[in-house]
Amino acid sequence: MLPAHLEQVKALLDLCFGDSAWTMESLRSQLDKSDSRCTVAVEYDRIIGFLAFEQVLDEGSIVEVAVHPDCRRKGIARSLITAAIQSAEGLDSIFLEVRESNTSAIRLYESLGFERIGVRKGYYQKPKEDAVIMNLSISVCNAPNP
């Protein structure tokens, strides 16, 4: 992802999540972090997917995944996540949190080898909802092809 993508990514996040917790400043900060990777999926010069990934020591975290509503169920999220997994050299595991009601995303993550390991009660706001905590053990993972 390039700094020139920030405005399109912000618009995508707002479209996907309503009043996004992401500001232009927080996106810029995420992009500038040395332990962070931001990836976009582009179609005809339009950003249709975004993934933010962070690494701390031997653990990774998928911070955000967003795909334009008109482009869902076409393998874009799978491709972004698979690329993150395949680039996770030296990591033992990758974590993520997902809204409990987002069953499509949970099924996708499970199909990629993630397992449910816990729940964060009341983690999400607008509306208030629990987060399912999921983990992928890299040591036993062979990331699927996108």
CATH code for the structural domain at 3-140:
3.40.630.30
Residue-level pLDDT at 133: 98
102 three-state secondary structure: coil
Residue-level pLDDT at 20: 64
Residue-level pLDDT at 87: 85
Residue-level pLDDT at 52: 94
Within 8 A by CB and 6+ apart from 6, the residues are 24, 27, 28, 31
The CB density around residue 108, as the number of other CB atoms within 10 Å, is 18
Strand spans (E) along 44-114:
46-56, 59-67, 93-99
Write down the domain spans for the chain.
3-140
Catalytic residues: 97, 109
Q: Strands 93-99 and 46-56, how do they pair?
A: unpaired
Residue-level pLDDT at 142: 47
**Mean pLDDT by groups of 10 residues along the chain of 146 residues:** 85 85 86 89 94 91 95 96 88 95 96 96 89 88 49
Residue-level pLDDT at 31: 87
